[in-house]
Structure 1
């Protein structure tokens, strides 16, 4: 028997609420994707009263709770909690994600450099829905069967409501309301099991699924409580559980990497080989340091020309994946110090090499004058364009890291510190459709990038204590 709830709990304002309000104001008043709260309440009550009569009610509620389609719900793997943690066990059942993050193809001795995910990417649903999920799998029911049953249920029970009810509207209700409960676009994509390739930010970093689940539970609870139901309890035990990328380095690995690079740099080389090695390792060190500061993608001719940097205000123009990725990103204080020291190093090289290596000195002069890209490599034939494929050969025998490890690492660090994943998405250069970052109608605030940059600066200088060449 489902009892009546006594009171709707008050919700604290989430960091996503303000942006959510702005985005909702952009919608037309008659937007057909938005169901009213009263209509959703009626749907929940009707489904709850008929939860034990067929499969339709459970699948409709599951779609409303998760934003997933019937096909996704039918195909998803389910698991029942069995493991206890400090005498407690999860209340509900697992609906597993289909997201697949590439495994590391490295010898086992190197795997200790990385953090390992310990979650399958689970979402929780109430036990009351479990019977329908188990029955549909035990009987090998097809999606056509489920759709037919849901359509029949919908016609019989929802025809008299103020708005027309279909599954698309029920799915969309989750994405419309989720930001009120502190769920970001990335969280919504995870819970709704959207295609990973359509949400590139979600390919980066590790995140605590338990934190996301707790917010998701608040969303489910808001629907059932508003409908006057005290059933449909979902509760998770208080522990960390990380899901996502396998390419996230440990902090100690990052420190070891930078310390090794600095050890290979001799600012007073005695031989040509030492000169070339120091030049290349210094360049590699600076670029990787700036990747940590700005989350620039590792690409050909990374960071472009010196004129892209503004070392007075501390910023850089980045275009690392076509024009849609164009953005202005702050460069934190330590990054500016490293870059200024590198520019001075290049100027001294021009002076020291103008007679012994005039062609190299001439090329470096062009780099400093923004007539060519700032970062170049040096081999036996002279200066050539920077490409991560070439520079990683310097270090892959010692640190065989994926080239984009810095983006994975910083993303994980910032997520762990509780920053807005919507703002992180903008920093990384992932267009947060349908919003645009740089136009007069945008709800994006550049100050958020400054705040994230400050977090990165603190982590580099205090948590990692990386060597800063100045």
Structure 2
């Protein structure tokens, strides 16, 4: 069973703490949303001493432990863990996540291409709080009734504390303290059950919910031990429990997809049909290779003009979802070689097509001169801006993948490798408001993108062993 003590922080946990310190330094010293540790200690002690006197102390502690509002807690589904095969079970009970990740609407024969979540996604709480949750459900307690009981409790027991106590301050304490225990913004969003619509970065990838739970119980244990409540704890066993996206491909599916694309590319086409097919599949191959390497969103005119790429220093400027998504992403040596080969292919096409398909040749010349977007799709009317809706028709019958599968896949790969979720968000273009990725006051370190880029390249070339056209 995993120890519930805070323990030492690993490298990723330290990065969360460091970034959190920088962010906190930007706040006013009199930030009214923060409670002091001594006040929180008093709150925990008062609630624990009166744990059997009603719903209020249990729900106050649950809000302090999870960052959820009283309404969220009142509406949460509860689950008691059962014993596993070796006779051990989690100590405590679960309140389940309300996150609904979109499911795949595909024929069953294609579902085997994807990994499947095996967890409902739950947050573990001390078993001492369970009776109150059960009572509130059995008696259909309303929010108004709970608010009234909480208000009466805090007036009676918190009135003489150094700071004014209210439900909002109690709820916010979790997000203030979470980085100390290696909990990322995505972890906090999961535990506090933030609206998934407002936190789209949490929609990507599968993550081990039990790993998050183990970090979370250390936070709970810190609060309870500070208050001298040595037996008032939750403990989580070491197990795999994957929760999240339904759009994560298996590695073998990714390899099959790339091998299929390469097989459709004829470097010496004879007919016009072969020429067009080879052009489209080669372009498709390069764009998806870049998507895997940079986590660019699939969209119209993806990656923009050639001038956005710097193959000498290995960088690309991405702006795929408004100014908040603007970022500079490193390009690995493998990606630079793939793109350089594609550019050389386009140059040869200009030479080969200038007498037979002059309009196409001129269009490609504009692509290479950064007078139009680099990637195009060729249909019976000539070249048109690249769009995933067009290119995915080429493989729909064989690989009916969602267009943004690459972001889901690489996100999962990096999460499994234990990278910082905060740094992954930056790579994906999810800048946390009000922080910005590129200014003097940002806590973001560009070198982290280089580290992630190296991990992605190693996965692509060594684990997946994808065919590389150079």
TM-score for the superposition, normalised by structure 1? 0.97
Work out whether residues 6 and 219 of structure 2, in 8 Å CA contact, stay in contact via their aligned partners in 1: no
* Residue 179 to residue 9, structure 1, CA distance change in 2 (3 Å): closer
Match of 1:419 in 2: 419
Match of 2:213 in 1: 213
Local SS of the residue matching 1:239: coil
Local SS of the residue matching 1:123: strand
Between 408-417 and 315-324, the greater mean CA deviation after superposition: 315-324
Match of 2:362 in 1: 362
Work out whether residues 224 and 233 of structure 2, in 8 Å CA contact, stay in contact via their aligned partners in 1: no
**Superposed CA offset, 1:316-358 (max 9, x none):** 1111111221111111221111100000000000011111111
**Superposed CA offset, 1:395-415 (max 9, x none):** 010000000000000000000
Deviation at 1:235, TM superposition (A): 1.2
RMSD, matched Cα? 1.1
Local SS of the residue matching 1:377: strand
Aligned residues: 464
Local SS of the residue matching 2:120: coil
Work out whether residues 8 and 226 of structure 1, in 8 Å CA contact, stay in contact via their aligned partners in 2: no
- Structure 1: how far apart are the matches of 2:134 and 2:336? 58
Provide structure 2 residue ranges, at least 5 long, that are not aligned to the other structure: none
Work out whether residues 114 and 246 of structure 1, in 8 Å CA contact, stay in contact via their aligned partners in 2: yes
* Residue 8 to residue 239, structure 1, CA distance change in 2 (3 Å): closer
- Structure 2: how far apart are the matches of 1:10 and 1:114? 36
Alignment of 1:52-451 (within 5 A): 52-451=52-451
Local SS of the residue matching 1:113: coil
- Structure 1: how far apart are the matches of 2:301 and 2:339? 16
Deviation at 1:187, TM superposition (A): 0.3
Deviation at 1:434, TM superposition (A): 2.1
Deviation at 1:29, TM superposition (A): 1.0
- Structure 2: how far apart are the matches of 1:50 and 1:204? 42
- Structure 1: how far apart are the matches of 2:9 and 2:71? 34
Work out whether residues 47 and 61 of structure 1, in 8 Å CA contact, stay in contact via their aligned partners in 2: yes
- Structure 1: how far apart are the matches of 2:241 and 2:209? 6
Deviation at 1:8, TM superposition (A): 7.4
**Superposed CA offset, 1:145-173 (max 9, x none):** 11100000000000000000011111111
Provide structure 1 residue ranges, at least 5 long, that are not aligned to the other structure: 1-6
**Superposed CA offset, 1:209-257 (max 9, x none):** 0110000000000000000111222111211000000000000000000
- Structure 1: how far apart are the matches of 2:132 and 2:468? 59
Work out whether residues 121 and 209 of structure 2, in 8 Å CA contact, stay in contact via their aligned partners in 1: yes
Local SS of the residue matching 1:236: coil
- Structure 2: how far apart are the matches of 1:455 and 1:213? 26
**Superposed CA offset, 1:48-101 (max 9, x none):** 000011010000000000000000000000011124142211110010000000
Deviation at 1:12, TM superposition (A): 2.7
Work out whether residues 85 and 237 of structure 1, in 8 Å CA contact, stay in contact via their aligned partners in 2: no
Point out 4+ residue stretches in structure 1 off by more than 4 angstroms.
7-10
Deviation at 1:379, TM superposition (A): 1.1
Match of 2:452 in 1: 452
Deviation at 1:9, TM superposition (A): 5.6
Work out whether residues 9 and 182 of structure 2, in 8 Å CA contact, stay in contact via their aligned partners in 1: no
- Structure 1: how far apart are the matches of 2:7 and 2:309? 47
- Structure 2: how far apart are the matches of 1:25 and 1:9? 24
- Structure 2: how far apart are the matches of 1:26 and 1:85? 49
Match of 2:18 in 1: 18
* Residue 8 to residue 276, structure 1, CA distance change in 2 (3 Å): closer
2:36 is the counterpart of 1:36: yes
* Residue 282 to residue 226, structure 1, CA distance change in 2 (3 Å): same
Local SS of the residue matching 2:112: helix
- Structure 2: how far apart are the matches of 1:59 and 1:9? 24
- Structure 2: how far apart are the matches of 1:85 and 1:164? 48
2:463 is the counterpart of 1:463: yes
Local SS of the residue matching 1:316: strand
Between 269-278 and 80-89, the greater mean CA deviation after superposition: 80-89
Local SS of the residue matching 1:364: helix
Work out whether residues 92 and 234 of structure 2, in 8 Å CA contact, stay in contact via their aligned partners in 1: yes
TM-score for the superposition, normalised by structure 2? 0.97
Between 332-341 and 361-370, the greater mean CA deviation after superposition: 332-341
Local SS of the residue matching 2:123: strand
Match of 1:4 in 2: none
- Structure 1: how far apart are the matches of 2:330 and 2:140? 54
